[in-house]
Amino acid sequence: MRKAACLVLAVLLGLCACGTPTQTESAQPGGLRIVTTVFPLYDWVKNLVAGQDGVSVSMLLDTGVDLHSFQPTAADLMELVACDLFLYVGGASDGWVPDALKAAPREGRMALDMVSCLGDRIRTEELVEGMTGEAEETPEADEHVWLSLKNAALLVDRIAEALCTLDGAGAETYRANAAAYIEKLTALDRAYEGTVNGANGRTLLFGDRFPFRYLAEDYGLAYYAAFSGCSAEAEASFETVLFLAGKLDELGLPAIVTLEGSDGRLARTILENSRNPDRRIVVMDSLQSTTAADVSAGATYLAAMERNLAALQDALP
């Protein structure tokens, strides 16, 4: 992926040198241009720059493609060439970014990766009991950092400071917006804590991948799942199905959880192998497949995490 991205970028830079027109201008002359990869970063920035004129914000992964399979197009790389601030997750799936930034230097451009910003809060992918798959010799960072409201508050504050550095004239707006948004994140974080503390148990069971490790750790939740969060496995083993069905029965869980976009087949198979196949199937949103159309229809990070809270209430005993 890195090689392909840099080859495309080299071609684009060559075209630019020859005078080929590209859409690299900001929304307003001299305005700040910000490019993000995933939706949560995009939505956070939109909240931070609200009320500040001349700022444009774009999202590369706007078609619903999963972060783990994303490959930048020529247009994506030209967005990167032109931006003042580039925000990306920084895990293995963004392996193309460092070479792209190096191949397309721009004076004054700032790039922030969330994994580095979070430091010792980062966890590695783990293979828990019952999962289909094999443990990696060198586990990679769990990239789903946005699924922790505590991480979100830290990252919003860090992004706001980057905006202040790039645009001192807007610093008051960025800091005020950050304070207001972090207050909302904190309130929702407390609601999660209240839900977990009021439940009769603290275990989730996913008939799917499990990208919610940061959320689970925030609130002391245990979990079982068919696959790890970044697993490339396509089919769960029969042993995994039986193990998860047995855990549903053993723990008396009221529901099994799947991710947005799932066809639910694996979850239904697990339920059918349990003693109570009439349990609910609950959907939680990993915010990995939010599209530009969803954004136009009003999708927000906070609304998605509020829906996840409601799903959590249904999934816990």
| pLDDT surpassing 90 at residue 248 | yes
Are residues 175 and 230 both part of a single domain? no
| pLDDT surpassing 90 at residue 139 | no
Per the structure, the count of domains in the chain is 2
The pLDDT value recorded for residue 35 is 96
Task: Say how many residues make up the chain.
Answer: 317
Residue 179 is assigned to a structural domain of this protein: yes
Are residues 172 and 217 both part of a single domain? no
pLDDT band, residue 4 (cuts 50/70/90): very low
| pLDDT surpassing 90 at residue 173 | yes
Are residues 59 and 83 both part of a single domain? yes
Long-range pairs, 292-298, Cβ under 8 A, ≥24:
292/59, 292/62, 292/63, 294/39, 295/39, 295/42, 295/43, 295/59, 295/62
Are residues 206 and 229 both part of a single domain? yes
Are residues 144 and 236 both part of a single domain? no
Q: Final residue of a domain: which of 158, 188, 218?
A: 188
3-state SS class at 240 = helix
The pLDDT value recorded for residue 143 is 95
Q: Final residue of a domain: which of 162, 188, 214?
A: 188
| pLDDT surpassing 60 at residue 316 | yes
Mean pLDDT (whole number) for 175-179: 98
pLDDT tens digit string along 10-48? 544 453 443 333 333 334 556 899 999 999 999 999 999
pLDDT tens digit string along 194-217? 999 999 999 999 999 999 999 999
The pLDDT value recorded for residue 164 is 97
Tell me the C-alpha distance between 96 and 11, whole Å. Answer: 16
The pLDDT value recorded for residue 155 is 98
pTM for the complete prediction? 0.90
pLDDT tens digit string along 62-112? 887 777 778 888 888 888 888 999 999 998 889 999 988 888 778 889 999
Q: Kindly state the DSSP code that residue 169 receives in the 8-state scheme.
A: G
pLDDT tens digit string along 108-117? 899 999 999 9
Are residues 170 and 208 both part of a single domain? no
3-state SS class at 287 = coil
Residue 195 is assigned to a structural domain of this protein: no
Q: Which domain holds residue 261?
A: 200-315
In angstroms, what CA-CA distances link 307 with 77, 159, 315? 33, 25, 12
Are residues 131 and 244 both part of a single domain? no
The pLDDT value recorded for residue 30 is 60
Q: Final residue of a domain: which of 120, 154, 188?
A: 188
Are residues 182 and 237 both part of a single domain? no
